[in-house]
Amino acid sequence: MNTTFKTVLGVTIVTSLGCAASFLVPVPASWSDSALGFHWTLASSVLYTLLHVGAAVLFLSGISAYKAALRSAYIKIAFGIVLVGGGLAQVVFLNIFGLIQTPWVQYGGIMLPFVVAGLAIYFGTRSMAALMGVQSILRNVWFIASLLVACVTVVSLLPHGPSSLPELVFDISNAISTWDMVLYGVSLGLVLKMRAHTGAHYITAISWLAIGLCGSFVITMCILIETLLLGAAPAAISINSIITISGLLYLKAGYSFARTKEL
Amino acid sequence: MVVFKNLISGRQSEIMTNALDLAKTAAGFASNQTAIEPLVAQTKQISNQSYFGSQLSQADEEELFNIYLKIEKYLMTADPIRTFNKDELRSKASVGLRTRLEDYEHRLTPLTKQLTT
């Protein structure tokens, strides 16, 4: 039994136990829906969070074979993946435990993981691309900064459905989705360039990372479009399902990267 | 379980018996293909010359060993993401292929020394 298999097995067991344990958590007084609804929402959040964490663990399990510069790039990507899952889960946890009125939410801290996740994944893929000798405008930080400003401005000016939120809060929320969408898209572009540039040994792993990033890009775009059309974030159940798929894609990418240490 | 194929087993170990596979596989380990582009082009050229199923001529095999040794040196000293070692790179070569490669390497060493002195 090799180390990668043991890691996948460990992730599967911990994820299953986490989901099962969610059903033992007592329903808080602040929860207005059914008990099953509470446990199902909590279990699905735990599921996709642990899948993202597991993906990061798999990414990091293979780094011993690589040089320090690539290890640093891997750590940034893994950190970004953990923040994607953790950031989304905190929204659910804060909602179901009635913590929306806390200073963390009131002062915008809730958005911080999403902002940092996009940046971490971008800088991780940028470092990897630089190491592999990929030449691209997508590596230029000033170009990306300009792209972010332009996209965020355009999205803030777009007409949208009636929202119960103040206009500024609604725009900030959409700006952060746009921020992530742009950074995932740019990272995807760099990963595809890397795929064309690197040896056959790394192609499967890089392809799965591209698929994972493609998933994140599409999910963020769907959330943004639906939020603009409806004036509110899409229903939790549909988000939970697609984020779980995203977690599985990153898990597969992490697994493929872990396997690259074997010749 | 196709998604997580070869989960329990190690990476599929295909023992290489010819110099062409050895050179191609080594080239696949290079993270930056641009750095070894001329060597990959030379390998392709030899691959195109010899038709499918035919034995490589001794001259072609020696040329491929020469290419392989250059790629191996690159992987051990200059690959930007990983440092490989000789044994792990040669571990998938069959005993016969490895012996022929090492014979070629030994014949080459005095020649290289003569040229550099």
- Neighboring chain B residues of A255 at a CB cutoff of 8 Å: 4
Bridge partners (DSSP) of residue B16 are B93
Q: Please report, in angstroms and rounded to a whole number, the separation of the first and last CA atoms in chain A.
A: 16
Task: Confirm or reject contact between A66 and chain B (CB < 8 A).
Answer: yes
How many CA atoms within 13 Å lie on the side-chain side of A34?
3
- Determine, for residues B81 and A132 on separate chains, whether the beta-carbon distance falls below 8 Å: yes
Task: Confirm or reject contact between B115 and chain A (CB < 8 A).
Answer: no
- How far is residue B109 CA from its own chain's centroid? 18
Residue B53 pLDDT greater than 70, yes or no: no
Q: Which of B3, B8, B27 sits opposite A199 (nearest CB)?
A: B27
pLDDT category at B37 given cuts 50, 70, 90 is very high
Residue A176: how many other CB atoms lie within 10 Å: 21
Pick the residue from chain B with its C-alpha nearest to A132: B32
How many CA atoms within 13 Å lie on the side-chain side of A12?
9
Tokens representing A71 are 């290890």
Classify each residue of B6-32 as buried b or exposed e, where b means 16 or more C-beta atoms within 10 Å of its C-beta.
Answer: eeeeeeeeeebebbbbbbbbbbbbbbb
Collapse the DSSP code of A34 into the 3-class scheme (helix H, G, I; strand E, B; otherwise coil) and give the result: coil
Tokens representing A88 are 């989304």
Q: What is the mean pLDDT of chain B?
A: 83
**Residue A102 to residues A107, A113, A174, B37, B46, Cα–Cα distance (Å):** 9, 16, 21, 58, 69
In this prediction, residue B111 carries a pLDDT of 61
For A190-202, the DSSP string reads HHHHHHHHS-HHH
In this prediction, residue A237 carries a pLDDT of 63
Rounded Cα distance between B84 and B78, Å, is: 10
Alpha helices in B19-85, H assignment, sequence order = 19-28, 37-49, 58-77
How much is the average pLDDT of B21-31? 94
In chain A, domain spans: 3-259
Rounded Cα distance between A66 and B81, Å, is: 6
Rounded Cα distance between B57 and B45, Å, is: 14
In this prediction, residue B83 carries a pLDDT of 87
| DSSP assigned state of A64 | G
Q: Write the pLDDT tens digit of every residue in A214-255.
A: 998 998 898 889 888 988 776 666 677 788 888 899 999 999
In this prediction, residue B10 carries a pLDDT of 47
CA distance B114 to chain A (A): 34
CB contact at 8 A, B32 and A202: no
In this prediction, residue B13 carries a pLDDT of 59
Q: Which residues of chain A have pLDDT under 70?
A: 1, 234-238
- Determine, for residues B31 and A199 on separate chains, whether the beta-carbon distance falls below 8 Å: yes
Rounded Cα distance between B88 and A199, Å, is: 17
pLDDT category at B8 given cuts 50, 70, 90 is very low
- Neighboring chain B residues of A131 at a CB cutoff of 8 Å: 31-32, 80-81
- Determine, for residues B81 and A199 on separate chains, whether the beta-carbon distance falls below 8 Å: no
Task: Confirm or reject contact between A255 and chain B (CB < 8 A).
Answer: yes
Nearest to A80 by CA among A41, A112, A122, A47: A122
Residue B94: how many other CB atoms lie within 10 Å: 14
Percent composition of chain A: helix, strand, coil (DSSP 3-state, to 5) = 80, 0, 20
Pick the residue from chain A with its C-alpha nearest to B10: A2
Q: Which amino acid is at A247?
A: G
Task: Confirm or reject contact between B12 and chain A (CB < 8 A).
Answer: no
- Determine, for residues B31 and A259 on separate chains, whether the beta-carbon distance falls below 8 Å: no
CA distance B107 to chain A (A): 28
Task: Tell how many helices (H) and how many strands (E) occur in chain B.
Answer: 5, 0
- Neighboring chain A residues of B74 at a CB cutoff of 8 Å: none
Residue B4 pLDDT greater than 60, yes or no: no
Mark residue A106 as left, alpha or beta (left: phi above 0; alpha: psi -120 to 50; beta: remaining): alpha
Rounded Cα distance between B84 and B67, Å, is: 17
- Determine, for residues B11 and A263 on separate chains, whether the beta-carbon distance falls below 8 Å: yes
Nearest to A61 by CA among A2, A120, A148, A115: A2
Task: Confirm or reject contact between B8 and chain A (CB < 8 A).
Answer: yes
- Neighboring chain B residues of A5 at a CB cutoff of 8 Å: 7-8
pLDDT category at B50 given cuts 50, 70, 90 is confident
Instruction: Pick the more confident residue, B5 or A46.
Output: A46
Q: Write the pLDDT tens digit of every residue in A166-176.
A: 888 888 888 99
